[in-house]
Amino acid sequence: MKKIVIANWKMFLNHKETELLTRGTLKNLKKIKNLEENLEIVLCPSFISLPLVSELIKQSSLPVAIGAQDVFWQERGAVTGEVSVLTLKEINTRYVIIGHSERRQNLKETDQMVNWKIKITLKNNLIPILCLGETFQERKRGEKEKVIIRQLNKALKGVKINSKNQLVVAYEPVWAIGSGLFVEPLEAEKISQLIRKKLISLTSKDQIRLIYGGSVDERNIKSFIKQKTIDGVLIGTTSLKKEKFVGIIKKILEFL
């Protein structure tokens, strides 16, 4: 399976800073050979910067895709402040992050909402990046596996997956996000195996891409990417520095 690297810029940058980071990242990526054959790269800026980043990617002709950080579960309607999947499609968005723990925690996003968002995204042929992961308390109580399986079951309730490229599932332990702490790569591998097994029983597809997210950087990338069941990474903080982000990509390419 082709590896995937996703940059989640969250709400860290204003529009001008997003433009600078996009231009800088694309410039550095241009210097890398054989990018397309080996790796899929996705940039996820905030909604308001999506059209600009989409245009810059188009001008660069680089094999980089664009992702949104969220979507609403209806296509149209009286929903003040939300963004429709139809609008995302218009500007060539390919991926949508769904169920990120920052939204589950700060905005009380529920498993039911995550399920609706997955459905509307798939219906419109965009690819959901479904985020799952336990909090520190849940982990301490020994509930890690239970939480992940519950989130997965509920997110995919009534969802039909037709091909392996229709979905990406990210294991993102909540306590590892933005904290500089990360899961032991072997533990992430074991969780990915658990997710793989459950996904096969839910979707009968055995090739859905599974990725890890949570304080990924240049020092730990190799130990994650060499795991058998980990097909890529979701990177927040480190993706905000173009040299570091492209450094991670180079390390992955060395490994492939």
Which parts of 154-193 interact with ligand PGA (CB under 6 A)?
172, 177-178
Q: CA Rg, the chain, in Å?
A: 17
3-state secondary structure of 192: helix
Distances (CA, A) of 231 to 38, 40, 49, 113, 228: 12, 11, 27, 26, 8
Residue type present at position 34: N
x/- map, 211-240, ligand PGA, by CB under 6 A: --xxxx-----------------xxxxx--
* For ligand PGA, the closer CB: 232 or 236: 236
What minimum distance in Å lies between the beta carbon of 248 and ligand PGA? 10
What minimum distance in Å lies between the beta carbon of 237 and ligand PGA? 3
- State the DSSP H helix or E strand holding residue 70, giving kind and residue range, or none if neither: none
| CB atoms inside a 10 Å sphere around CB 232 | 27
What gap in Å lies between CA 220 and CA 240, rounded to an integer? Answer: 17
Q: Does 210 bind ligand PGA (CB under 6 A)?
A: no
Whether 184 is a known active-site residue: answer: no
* For ligand PGA, the closer CB: 84 or 215: 215
Active site residues: 100, 172
- Give contact residues for ligand PGA (rule: CB under 6 A): 8, 172, 177-178, 213-216, 234-238
